[in-house]
Amino acid sequence: MSLLTVFPDAEALGAALAAEIVAGMADAAAQGRRYLLGCPGGRSLIGTYEAVAGRLRSAPMDLAHVVIVMMDDYLDDVPGPVRRVPADALHSCERFARLRIAEPWSRAVGPGRGIREEHVWVPDPGDPPRYDERIAAAGGIDLFLLATGASDGHIAFNPPGCGLAEGTRVIRLAESTRRDNLVTFPHLGTLDQVPRRGVSVGPATIAGLSRRVRLVATGADKAKSVARVRAAGRWEPDWPATIVHASREAEIWTDPAAAGGSAVAESPSSPHQLDS
């Protein structure tokens, strides 16, 4: 069973999750080890990433031990060896990681204390299994942040019908996933411009290599996916977001709209928690 936590709004959710992330970074530093944070690109976690930057400005710490583990990236639809889209493309997940996560956090803590350039990890489509090996060798992901597709429940680029035992691999994107991605990256203009392939962590990466998982879903457009995940109660391959039920210390964090109108606690600063 995964715990459902309903926050008053997306801002409160982001602030609470940022507090958890920064506390995890500090604990790892005190233990003299790396802190691996699994991150999606896109819209769902932007508020959280910004809230982390705010906390780091208020209480700077050295981030040399922090590793940003990106979930996926798009592949070029071109003949020849498989390769990720250029890092300067607006829909590049590597670009997102550096501009929306690593650089703001590094600015917040000041020169010489930021995230190292080599600590932004993105899977290599030329050797996808190596990504899981690298994560495992580093001790696993401390906290994996997940976002779910509104229409088909995809997680990263994992489409409906994927298997629980699948790790990082090259994936042909489902059309439903590509339609969701067009909303995330409107600069692409039309569905034909959305890449058809990506390299992505798999359900086995998330469930097997993470200590904790937080599935974040806010807004009424995510209510369908949250309802499906809560109703499932276990892993179901036709709705990949149900990976939370196969993961350790997994929670679903939402606002009332995504939770289908579930009320929050009386205190505006306190979330409301229910077993899903």
Set out the domains of the chain in order of their start, with CATH numbers.
3-275 (3.40.50.1360)
Name the pairing type of β-strands 72-74 and 197-200: antiparallel
| Single-letter residue type at 149 | G
Residues 6 or more apart in contact with residue 204 via CB below 8 angstroms: 132, 164, 165, 166, 167
Rounded CA gap, 168 and 15, in Å? 30
Query: Residue 268: its pLDDT value, please?
Result: 39
Query: Identity (one letter) of the amino acid at 190?
Result: T
Contact 66, 117 (CB under 8 A): no
- Reported pTM: 0.92
**Which helix or strand (DSSP H or E) is residue 137 part of?**
helix 129-137
The pLDDT of residue 273? 60
The tens-digit pLDDT sequence of the chain (276 residues) is: 568 999 999 999 999 999 999 999 999 999 999 999 999 998 899 999 999 999 999 999 999 999 999 999 999 887 778 899 989 988 899 999 999 999 999 999 999 999 999 999 999 999 999 999 999 999 999 999 999 988 889 999 999 999 999 999 999 987 877 887 777 777 877 888 888 899 999 999 999 999 999 999 999 999 999 999 999 989 999 999 999 999 999 999 999 999 987 655 433 345 656 555
Strand order in the sheet with 197-200: 72-74, 197-200, 169-172
* Dist CA 74 CA 240 (whole Å): 19
Which pLDDT belongs to residue 271?
62
Tokens of 162: 């994927």
- Which pLDDT does position 276 carry in this prediction? 53
Q: Two tokens at 187?
A: 């600069």
- The two three-digit tokens of residue 47, written as one number: 């508020």
Residue 65 near residue 194, CB atoms below 8 Å? no
Local structure of 252: helix, strand or coil: strand
In angstroms, rounded to a whole number, what is the distance separating the alpha carbons of residues 135 and 141? 7
- Which burial class, exposed, middle or buried, applies to 18 when counting CB atoms under 10 A from its CB (0-12, 13-18, 19+)? buried
Q: What is the model's pLDDT at position 1?
A: 52
Q: Which two tokens stand for residue 5?
A: 């936590």
Q: Which of 252, 248, 226, 251 lies closest to 239, judged by CA?
A: 226
CA dihedral 196, 199, 201, 203 (to 10 degrees): 40
176 token code pair: 């439903």
Write down the pLDDT at residue 275. Answer: 56
For helices 10-31 and 46-58, the axis angle rounded to 10 degrees is 50
